[in-house]
Structure 1
Amino acid sequence: MRISLVDSGIGMLSTAAALRAARPDADLILSMDPDHMPWGPRRPDDVIGRALAGAEATAAFAPDAIVVPCNTASVHGLDALRARFEPKTPVIGTVPAVKPAAAHGGPIAVWSTAATSRSRYQADLIERFAAGHTVTPVACVGLAEAVESADPAAITEAVGRAAERTPADVRSVALACTHYDLVDEVISASLGQRPALFSAAAAVAAQTLRRMGAAPAPEAPRTGTVTVLASGRPGELPEAALAYAAGAALALPPVGSGV
């Protein structure tokens, strides 16, 4: 079983780790794009081009599924990716976890990048899934960049700014950027453990297996490999990735590899 993940940087780690937990025997191909990151500020046609290039770079591995663990790339590039690779290879996108946050109960805050917070896409999700709840969009300026660089001081500062803009009565927080999953403990601490946090990683992993016709097998031996591509070139997990539990878990050698 081979699954490729396409993103600009280490925001993919939480989804990759969720896939690793669900299927320790699956080979993962992590296609990052350090030459052109971040994708968020780019024009939609640029994002589409980068996402297609990242997915094409994994074609030689004949993946059984292509996962896009990035909200920006999913919004702009999912249709183009599906037109290119489906029906032969299923393509699974990422949607901010507004629906489960709303199911847990409001008031709700949606933490996202500045661009996403003012997007029609996020507004539509809130209208569809959180109608009747008080929803506060929180633009987390600089947080994704701080996480990408694994800068503890910058992370603490950016999280603190976002927490100050989060109403005290919020019960649920949807993390609408996969980078934020990597610092969920910092976010919880900044909010005083009050609200529940919701991310898309586990749901995307589950949907990936469903689209592949595969079942979760967390008890399977950890024989799956991790291959990293850096803008199409053979690479390694960035040093910053190893600062997070998800990255450290992916860096473990497969059982029986002799490493």
Structure 2
Amino acid sequence: MKIGIFDSGIGGLSVLYEAMQLLPHEQFIYYADEKHVPYGEKTREEIIGYVDEIIQFMIDHNCKAIVIACNTATSAAVALMRKKYDIPIIGMEPAVKKAVDLYGNQKVLVCATPITVKGKKMLDLVERVDKDHLVDLVALPKLVRFAEKQEFNSDEVLAYLKEALSKFDFKEYGSLVLGCTHFNYFKDSFHQLLPHVHLLDGNRGTINYLMKNIELENLESSVEYYYSAKRVSGEELKRIERYLERLKNMKDIGI
């Protein structure tokens, strides 16, 4: 049986990349809901409908577990989906606790989409782990659209980040949590602007949790890619490969 991983677009490929490193003998389906990206600009009700449809697709395609590789979709829908479906459904959780535990002597900035920043799941997480009131939140909605256009460190991207982060005094911050899987493609841009700040994401923690909730198999590794239920091939597959190559290159240089 397969492991399903999905996102509103290509952000969740960073979660798939982590899964392929840690689970080399599993088979995957990756589903990018390109018809509806970005989720961060949709209503909660719309997102719940999209997620429900995708999970049913994954079940119909023989998945034994499903990873919602999207913080926005997790915030909006994971609790409802776990009640509805009798299959392990793993959501994303921003690495806020890890940031507080590792760098809690300094402030922590969490970057995410507007729905994630305002969502009850995020606010409950911060309340639970931020005992010293060190965590701040900021929404960076434009980064999702930049990522979908494969525009990662252009002058426009850097100008957007500088403006969005200008109100924070980064001498006070020790870490920056990437609370959207699309944001992982911009690690080099964040590092360029904030070289002394530690960057954290929730990808490894998500896959570690997945591993605890599935029976591992010894299969020949494979991935099937879908854009909104349509099997990917040709130029679309080449596009996906470029994103995966970018993730690999950033890992190779230690970002």
* TM-score interval (norm. to shorter): 0.7 to 0.9
Q: Which of 231, 235, 246 is residue 234 of structure 1 equivalent to?
A: 231
- Give the whole-Å Cα distance in 1 for the aligned partners of 2:122 and 2:245: 26
Does 1:195 find its partner at 2:181? no
Corresponding position of 1:204: 206
Over 3 Å counting, the alpha-carbon distance change for 1:101 and 1:235 in structure 2 is: same
The aligned runs of 1:65-80 (5 Å cut-off) are 65-80=65-80
Q: In structure 2, what residue type is equivalent to 1:55?
A: I
- Give the whole-Å Cα distance in 1 for the aligned partners of 2:216 and 2:163: 42
Task: Count the aligned residue pairs.
Answer: 241
Corresponding position of 2:222: 225
Deviations 1:149-203, CA, capped at 9 Å, x for gaps: 1113243333333443442220011111111112212211210x21211101011
SS in 2 for 1:95: coil
**CA offset at residue 231 of structure 1?**
1.3
- The alignment's C-alpha RMSD in Å is 2.3
Corresponding position of 2:243: 244
Over 3 Å counting, the alpha-carbon distance change for 1:115 and 1:157 in structure 2 is: farther
Corresponding position of 1:94: 92
Query: Does the 8 Å CA contact 1:6/1:30 hold for their aligned counterparts?
Result: yes
The aligned runs of 1:72-151 (5 Å cut-off) are 72-86=72-86, 89-104=87-102, 105=104, 106-151=106-151
Over 3 Å counting, the alpha-carbon distance change for 1:224 and 1:247 in structure 2 is: farther
Q: In structure 1, what residue type is equivalent to 2:159?
A: E
**CA offset at residue 239 of structure 1?**
5.1
Deviates more, 1:66-75 or 1:124-133: 124-133
Does 1:173 find its partner at 2:173? no
Query: Does the 8 Å CA contact 1:109/1:172 hold for their aligned counterparts?
Result: yes
Q: In structure 1, what residue type is equivalent to 2:80?
A: A
Corresponding position of 1:257: none
**CA offset at residue 99 of structure 1?**
0.7
Corresponding position of 1:254: none
SS in 2 for 1:160: helix
Any gaps of 5 or more consecutive residues in structure 1? Answer: 250-259
* Percent identity (aligned): 24
**CA offset at residue 144 of structure 1?**
1.6
**CA offset at residue 247 of structure 1?**
6.6
Deviates more, 1:103-112 or 1:152-161: 152-161
Query: Does the 8 Å CA contact 1:7/1:54 hold for their aligned counterparts?
Result: no
Corresponding position of 1:14: 14
Q: In structure 1, what residue type is equivalent to 2:67?
A: V
Q: In structure 2, what residue type is equivalent to 1:183?
A: F
Corresponding position of 1:30: 30
Over 3 Å counting, the alpha-carbon distance change for 1:119 and 1:61 in structure 2 is: closer
**CA offset at residue 248 of structure 1?**
7.1
The aligned runs of 1:37-76 (5 Å cut-off) are 37-76=37-76
- Give the whole-Å Cα distance in 1 for the aligned partners of 2:107 and 2:157: 25
Corresponding position of 1:255: none
TM-score, structure 2 as length reference: 0.85
Deviations 1:179-234, CA, capped at 9 Å, x for gaps: 1112212211210x21211101011111111100449xxxx89x411111121121
Query: Does the 8 Å CA contact 1:150/1:240 hold for their aligned counterparts?
Result: no
Over 3 Å counting, the alpha-carbon distance change for 1:20 and 1:247 in structure 2 is: farther
Over 3 Å counting, the alpha-carbon distance change for 1:62 and 1:96 in structure 2 is: same
